[in-house]
Structure 1
Amino acid sequence: MTDPFRNCFVTKTKEEEENESILWQRYQNLVSSFPKEQGWGFENYICNYQSFWYADKHCQAVLAVQDHFKARSSDIILATNPKAGATWIKALLFATVTRSKYPIYNHPLLSQNSHFLVPFLEIGLYNNRIPDLETLPSPRLFGTHISYTSLPQSMIDSGCRIVYLCRNPKDVFVSMWHFKNKMRERLSKIPLSIMEAFERFCNGVTHFGPFWDHVLGYWTASLERPQNVLFIKYEELKADPVVQLKRVAQFVGYPFTSEEEKEGLVDEILRLCSFENLSSLEVNKTGEAPMGKFKNEAFFRKGKVGDWDNYFTSEMIERLDKITEQKFHGYDLKL
């Protein structure tokens, strides 16, 4: 499959290139002035912007997204905390929304990673460049790790649909620790010990974190604007994927018909997008990740619920449970 976003990056005039270079230099200067802490993976440090932590290049991209992204009412935004299931929810939504266009037996997901088909705004598309996303047909599907409070205003004003996938913080932490150490290994960096990583996670100093503030932003938005923000839990999606996928499809405006359900289309999509199937594909075993730095296989470790039990001590459990209880107190939210 050819790159569906290739037309978003047309050749620019010399003047346009110079203006864009000036723009990115301004972003770099701004980011360099933000508070910093030691990084987790490929970066030496992460910086704080609007109360959330970013790698410097991702922070520059967030500024660009805020300034330049123009949402449409038909857009579908898949928002997640890092390592909360973005690879899976992107695959499910892409297959659902485009089901009339692609047959299951010859589907783009069989040859392309879901992050290629549904790119992150701040990690992929706005990477030292300003893409022309107006060339894309509707509905446009994008991913993001940006906190709700830092989303571009056009996303709020347009009334576009935002699907937020949340996951238990213990599993998020373990998955993130493994993922970042894979990045460090590729760059010949010393692995980050689990206790060092745990300390940073508990202190909220993690990519696109603090975790709890990120979750609460989308949780409260889903209560205040239920027609625009859907909050779903990874564990519920794993436990009852048929019900949850139909719920998401209904929310984004692409409900399954009774005929499609009778024909088993929901089950076909779930099989296509299952961890077992996607992780076994050649593109996800040897292909390069669209964001660079690592291979697609880094996105597929276990995908299980409760894997944290293999890593957490009783002291770690007690500490993280206490933080979660304090952070979510009064919000009627259980993970």
Structure 2
Amino acid sequence: MADYFKLNPEYYQVPWHFTFKGVYLAKYVRKDTLERPELYEIKSDDIFVVSYPKSGTTWTLELAQLIMNKGDPTYSESESHFDRIPFIEFNPERYPKRNGFTAMQNIESPRLLKSHLPIHLFPPQALQMGCKVIFVARNPKDTVVSYYHFYQALPSLYGDYKGDFSGYLKLFVNGQVVYGDWFDHTLGWYNYVEENNGLFLKYEDMKKNPSETTVKIAEYLNCDLSDEIIDEITGRCSFARMKMSKLINFEEVEGRPFLRKGAVGDWKNYFTVSENEAFDEVYNERMKDSRLTFDWE
């Protein structure tokens, strides 16, 4: 199966994207802070939610923000998700207000911040200072399906991908999608949070028991909330509620909704039998030295 996912010489690449320290990145990722991460003015009480794209980041951030505000939705309902929560490496040409580097300087502490950077590209001072890190991961089969649709929905960010899912799956397995190799990214952060008292969440567990997830985040952030407030926060952050919210599931970028299905097991509608078998071989080899496991449906 070693050659099953082999890319041909003409595999899909976006001319304006770039590779930095082995990681394929989009043009919206700031190069100056990759080269000089010390430019970030990190504070010891910063809180980071980190993930590989399409793994439950938005959900986790909305939960964390409501928890930090003791369940008061006033701020969460004041403006869009991207305008409330700085995406630290994000530098979009079309939306200068959402430049993460600038935005993070304009919010009060404790700051809730987002990143998709792999650990070796993340600002090291944040780790050295012991900033709180919540890392959320999703099984890679559902991740690649969701990412495939995201690529198609946002051509201004990811190029005009016209290939089918099978072609995209090859790109994903070879780490030739934005933010690079899922295995390196996930294992790097998983090992860090396990060894440094971070909080590790799995998307599938969040779907199974959302109330328990809210409690875990609240405890990690040292927020003592009543059962009533926990239930209210959990309800406000249900997938159905978030999908209806124009502040979270905004459609202004390319006219497409940001949230799609949020399902566990949707990969079965896309993988062929042979693709699934080949992917399982890759997965088992890459994950053989890790204790990390996932639910697939």
The normalised TM-score by structure 2 is 0.85
TM-superposed CA distance for 1:320, in Å, is 1.6
- Match in the other structure for 1:232: 201
Contact 1:95 1:269 in 2 (8 A): yes
- Match in the other structure for 1:321: 280
- 1:11-30 matches, within 5 Å, as none
How many residues are aligned here?
A: 280
TM-superposed CA distance for 1:87, in Å, is 1.3
Distance (whole Å) between structure 1 residues aligned to residue 270 and residue 12 of structure 2: 23
Structure with greater proportional helix content: 1
Distance (whole Å) between structure 2 residues aligned to residue 328 and residue 240 of structure 1: 25
- Match in the other structure for 1:97: 68
Q: Indicate the larger mover: 113-122 or 167-176.
A: 113-122
Contact 1:61 1:123 in 2 (8 A): no
- 1:272 lines up with 2:232 in the alignment: no
- Match in the other structure for 1:119: 86
TM-superposed CA distance for 1:72, in Å, is 1.4
Distance 1:155 1:97, change over 3 A: same
The normalised TM-score by structure 1 is 0.76
Distance (whole Å) between structure 2 residues aligned to residue 150 and residue 119 of structure 1: 17
Q: Determine which of 51, 58, 63 is the counterpart of 2:29.
A: 58
- Match in the other structure for 2:213: 244
Contact 2:28 2:91 in 1 (8 A): no
TM-superposed CA distance for 1:242, in Å, is 1.2
- 1:173-184 matches, within 5 Å, as 173-184=144-155
- 1:281 lines up with 2:240 in the alignment: no
Distance (whole Å) between structure 2 residues aligned to residue 334 and residue 285 of structure 1: 29
Contact 2:214 2:233 in 1 (8 A): no
Structure 1 gaps, min length 5: 1-36
Q: CA RMSD in A?
A: 2.6
Structure 1 vs Structure 2: percent identity of aligned residues? 26
TM-superposed CA distance for 1:179, in Å, is 0.8
Q: Determine which of 35, 50, 58 is the counterpart of 1:79.
A: 50
- 1:183-194 matches, within 5 Å, as 183-184=154-155, 189=160, 191-194=162-165
User: Bigger radius of gyration, 1 or 2?
Assistant: 1
Distance 1:136 1:81, change over 3 A: same
TM-superposed CA distance for 1:135, in Å, is 4.7
Matched letter for residue 270 of structure 1 = T
Q: Determine which of 306, 313, 325 is the counterpart of 2:265.
A: 306
- Structure 1 residue ranges (4+ consecutive) displaced by more than 6 angstroms after TM superposition: 125-129, 185-188
Contact 1:181 1:192 in 2 (8 A): no
Matched letter for residue 112 of structure 1 = E
Distance (whole Å) between structure 2 residues aligned to residue 85 and residue 309 of structure 1: 19
Contact 1:71 1:155 in 2 (8 A): yes
Distance (whole Å) between structure 1 residues aligned to residue 283 and residue 56 of structure 2: 19
TM-superposed CA distance for 1:52, in Å, is 1.6
Structure 2 gaps, min length 5: 1-10
Contact 2:51 2:57 in 1 (8 A): yes
Distance (whole Å) between structure 1 residues aligned to residue 136 and residue 32 of structure 2: 22
Distance 1:79 1:223, change over 3 A: same
